[in-house]
Structure 1
Amino acid sequence: MMSLTHPVSDPSASSRSDALSLDLLLSNLPGAAYRCLNDSEWSMVFISDGVEKVTGYSAAAFTGRPGLSFASIILPEDRDQMHAAVAIALAQNQPFQVTYRIRTANGQIRWIWEQGALNRQAGTLEGFLADFTRVKHADLVMLEQASFLQQARDAIIAMDMASRISYWNHGAERLYGWSAHEAIGKRFCELLCDEQAHYETAFAHTLADGEWCGELAHMRRDGSKVDTDTRWTLLAPDAVPGASQKILVIGTDISERKSSEARIFRLAFFDHLTDLPNRANLLDQLRRALLGSARSGKCGALMFCDLDNFKYLNDSQGHAAGDLLLQAVARRLEGCVREADMVARLGGDEFVVLIRPVEDSRDVAAAQAETVAKKVVAALAAPFQLGELHYTLSVSVGVVTLCGLHDTVESTLRQADAAMYQAKAAGRNTFRFHDPAVQAAWLARAELESGLRRALQRHEFVLHYQPQLDRSGRVIGAEALLRWHQPDGKVVLPFDFIRIAEESGLIIEIGAWVMRTACLELARWQRQPATAGLTLSVNVSARQFTEPDFVTLLATIFAETGVQPSGLRLELTESLVVTDFTSTAQTMATLKRQGVSFALDDFGTGYSSLAYLRKLPLDQLKIDRSFMRDVLTDQNDASIVRSIIGLGDSLGLQVIAEGVETAGQHQFLANAGCHLYQGFLYQPAMSAELFMQYATTTH
């Protein structure tokens, strides 16, 4: 029945409209729809125009008679595999999905993704195919990048904000022992972290700053610990909806490095023979004890122990017996003190006992020290069994109470040493407390300080220059050394007045004079072709270097003298580096940018953390003369010198030895790999004029 309210539509018009709509739909597809025979050539019955964008061939090229076989443009190495996949799907009455490569009309290779099914009524295949090249390449890039991560030696781990592990590479498998299958989904903090506090600190810093780096000890699958140098990075959430924020953890195994550092530390700060702390270790611990005493007001004591007539045992029974005795003495001394106290060997037959500052007054500390001193004398008086030899020994002990408000490392050791000699004078095999009256140097302090002020006013200071030479005997530079020419003609060395200059504050003015004079001389060298390449090392005191205007002072001196800062090397002490590391590092970095280089002076006599050495812009380590003095006879000193040379080499630093006085010492250094020297074997410090003559004839 025809509608009375609507006109009757034309069926042919409707068909034309449907055809146009279908053409429009097909033209907007990102590929081509097709119908083909289920034959080996995929002979096309119909294929939409979108095929031209994919293959470069028009639709008519495939549907014409004779038409282009679609199978012919599939790469031969993919054709059989693709046909087999389609055949399996059809046999199971399932749709098929395949990817394969074709060669386009212009010869390009493209990846095709295709999905289709069998029209059983018509007996044809119908489906859709599209260009898959960009996606395939992206997958390959992603797989390649994932392969790089898997091949990395470092452990690379990703975890979410709940500490759940979502990525675990082969490096992590090798380092920790768990496979990715076992680790993914586990909580990082529970799987690897033995110290939860360290994990929480790293996590908090990462959230606050976006990253954290440091050293962490992690647990392996077998229960052992591994030291890692670790960097944590906070990653923004992926653009994929629902993706969570993650933390990327990259860990490097540093167990071997930590073990090497521990061995070097042991060599540098423990006595090889007795396994006691050595002189460098003692000086550091004494300094710390005095600082702690100054803060807390607590008092302690120091004992200087010297074995009586030890030389007789070495001369009569040999050094092997002497070594056995020293080892036995060390163990007995350790048995006389509390666990918190310290027994150290200074060298030879000299030992020191440090009683930590825990008492409320000097009197109480003295009473405690007297108890320990009596135990030491009694313990060492008992006979020693050295192999088949019975040997009786006595000891002289000097005792000084210490309190950081007034005492220094130097004064404490000096007073204990003086008290030890009083014990020897009293007949040995006893102990004596320090008597301040015997220290004449303290009484002369005021006179010395006055003389220093006069020396500044009357220009009594001069600089001498000690040559520094390389392995071929060529002069490469010099160290500027301060001398005090007194009115009576006496020449006073810095050892006799620098401490007073430091304590009185005069070192600031003296140091400024030294720096200005040294830069004037260095500028003179730089104007002469024969000496233009020489460097000049200048010692800078801790107090001077930490002055707020030190950098400004140097800038002024550089401008006034016209010196090139690249020829200047500042020698800093270990105590400065350890005491105020942050400020020291900042000042060094500022001066380094201006061309100034740096040496760590007297290396090995204090405590230098390896972490500090790595973080400071140092150029040179200087072996202290105290180690060179007995380097040919004392295995401990020899080991320390070799360790310093090896440490400098591993850190890329020059190593120079001072105090080289004999050809044997020179040969020892050369064999150990140190090839920069200064000392009396070559030349003592000399005036500026004599140095210029020497440098120009030797250079």
Structure 2
Amino acid sequence: IIANEELNFQNEEKEKRAAELIIANEELNFQNKEKEKRAAELVIANKELMIAATVFESQEGMLITDASNRIIRVNSAFASITGYSNEDVIGQKPSVLSSEKQSAGFFITMWDSINNTGAWQGEIYNTRKNGEIYPEYITITAVKDAQGIVTNYVETLTDITLIKASADKIISLAYYDVLTHLPNRSLLLDRLEQALTASAESGQRGAVLCIDLDHFKNLNDTLGHDMGDLLLKQVAERLIACIYTKDTIARIGGDEFVIILENLSDSAIEAAAETNNIIEKIAFTLSKPYQLNTHFYQSSSSIGATLFMGHELKSKELLKQADIAMYQSKGKGRNAITFFNSVMQDKITARVDIENELRVAIEQQQFQLHYQIQVDHIGRPFGAEALIRWPHPKRGLISPLSFIPVAEDTGLIITIGQWVLETACAQLNRWDKDELTRYLTLSVNVSAKQFFQTDFAAQVIATVRRYDINPTKLKLELTESMLVESIENFISTINTLKEIGIKISLDDFGTGYSSLQYLKKLGIYQLKIDQSFVRDIATDIHDQVIVRTIIAMAHSLDINVVVEGVETEEQRQVLLTIGCSHFQGYLFSKPVHIDEFEGLVRKL
């Protein structure tokens, strides 16, 4: 029995060990499978590492930064593109490459994209180690861990210098003349469309000029096309020097050039005058001698012009008009200027004539001063306004409306204005010697160009002293529009003149838009209410309210008021009832010669 129990025990032990061996064998098989799996993963990881290394050393430049955007590695392509080695940039920020051609706003937008989407790509200008600025296309990607925290940034960069150069070359061939590098017809039409749109928005006029070189074919036939090409290049250079950078010059074929002038006056006459001045400058410049290698050559040009305002006409119609006008110039015998609008041409010619004759008038002292009386509420004269008149020896009396704008545009107004001031001061000197006239004040109109000369106040003071007049008898009439130019200079000049007693009058009051803001600050002596408020004052309650308000305001500021343009007794009576006590207008007298004026003063 004992032996049998021992045998059973041994059998149980064997079974137990067999079971343990089975478990151990299964564990060993599991471990072997894990080893095989890890070996396979290592093989895959090794392949991925090899691929990553290959990619990292590709033709594209690459850099890797840490989470604080410090460079930790760059590849060899990066070094080739930028000139910076791994050692040069480790620990630096990518901004070491910055060309400073991008604004701060550009980088704010870029980082907004990276932070919000995890990536950004686009063109940027960077700087190589040698200082050369170049264009590149970059992609920046944020690398994040399992928790979504950024651990690195990876940037790939491609030098696109050659691509950009090729694109620029294509654009150049498509839109620019190969010989002169000026815009061609395609770009001209695009620029003209833009100019028409800008004109429509601004209300300013523009012009299209068509320029053709006279006898250009003869040059090609005699000296050859090389010399003709050289002339065209020099003509292009001269044209560029004649216009503003905002304007466009194009070569549209052969020896024909087109110019677009922008931002001219909103007045058709003024815009035409500006255009004519530029055309004359161009014609003069192109007529100067050319040095074509060893050949000395002189040329002239036929020029046609047309004005535009907004989209009144289509681009091609404007070019056609300018072309027609240019052929009209050729029909006149070449070396001529023609505006498409014949009426406009007549007006331009008249304006040029006025300018030329103004210069003669200044030299020959053809001008006169006429005087319009100013009276108080009982009709007693207290002063006059001096108004320039031009009794032309052939044309008769020329209206100031015809010659003053020309004088303003040409700068002749400064000389004319000084003549007016001196003549007025000489008259005040004579009045001071007569008991009947020594109490009279005399108002003189001053133009903006004259007033804003740096030495204007000094000129006036010197003139007052030269003629030994009482400065309190001289009033300078300025317009509200001058306030827009430079209020600081305006006030400074006024204060200098007031220091010696000269009075300042603000003319045409109520027609401007800034005077109320500065009225107290200016410290002027007198306001002149514009005649536009007087014309209908007898019947228009609104005009009455406006004039009453201006008078009340002026009196509260201790400012004298004169109402201009009083032509009827009814107007005077209405003005008296609303508080006006000083008048000027045809009711009392039109502007007259000094002898007639003094006779009127003695009569009153």
Into which bin does the TM-score normalised by the smaller protein fall? 0.3 to 0.5
Instruction: Judging by fraction of residues, say which structure has more helix.
Output: 2
TM-score scaled by length of structure 1: 0.42
Q: Whose Rg is larger?
A: 2
